[in-house]
Amino acid sequence: PRRITDKEKRTPPIRAYNPRSSHIRSGYYMALEGKKAVESFCSLNPEFREDHPMIKQGVPMHEVNVWPAEERHPGFRAFNEAYFRDMLAFSKALLRGFALGLGRAEDFFEPYLTAEGTLSSSVLIRYPYIEEYPKPAIRIADDGTQLSFERHQDVSLITVLLQSAVQNLQVKTQAGGYVDVPPSADCYLVNCGTYMEHITHGFFHAPWHRVKFVNAERLSLPFFVNLDNDSTVKPFVPTAEGPAEGAAKVDPAPREALSYGQYLQQGLHKLIVTNGQT
């Protein structure tokens, strides 16, 4: 496979750190020499085409994907679009289990998550090996751990993650410390995002996690499962039919019903302000 060229990285469709680009979600997020080493490519719903109602109306968080030239990167678009659709189907199956665990009907999440409207995103992230790693790209945690990306909770309903063999993901435990999450070639890692935590009154927790600095080539492929823009799940306390385990951690205080588009805009803005762009 050939690498994307510096010229391609700076063309208008490439969005991160590019004032000429109108995209704020999809596209290539470039590394910055001496400052930022991680690079990534974010693709959104392949159903978002120029004639899609949300695209025509200019609704925030909806963008038409812009792809590298097919003749220079053959199969890249086809792979990403197929992977998005496969992961959406897989995620819907997972959510049927979540719904049952909450004491809801198995298809509870179905109306909120459609193939035509989902704001989900698939992100290819590369953590490179660099002989002289730029010091500004390494963060230091309160406990002294060197990090590539600081602690955060995912802005999603759930996140489904595929990792390569190099271990650098850590998750915060109930005791307050961080532990390594071993990578697996046979399994996806699934965690809840803050919208799931919000609508279940904390029954399903969005874990704090961070990316430990390891100077080695590593790939990460998270699929952020996001509902449709206008979907609004009214927060609820899981019923008695759900599992008894964990009921004590539910926060019964009233919670605001948030449309998913509103939640996603606010959550991504806060994440970028706090941690910067991936």
For the chain, give the number of residues.
Answer: 278
209 among known catalytic residues: yes
Catalytic residue among 62, 84, 109, 154: 154
The span from the CA of 177 to the CA of 209, in Å, is: 11
Catalytic residue among 108, 152, 205, 236: 152
152 among known catalytic residues: yes
Catalytic residue among 41, 48, 84, 149: 149
The span from the CA of 85 to the CA of 75, in Å, is: 16
86 among known catalytic residues: no
User: Which helix (H) or strand (E) is 195 found in, with range?
Assistant: helix 194-199
> How far is the CA of 70 from the CAs of 12, 37, 41, 52, 91, in angstroms?
17, 26, 16, 23, 28
203 among known catalytic residues: no
The span from the CA of 47 to the CA of 134, in Å, is: 39
> Closest Cα partner for 84 from 233, 211, 226?
226
Catalytic residue among 209, 223, 224, 228: 209
What Rg value do the Cα atoms of the chain yield, rounded?
A: 19
Residues serving a catalytic function are: 149, 152, 154, 209
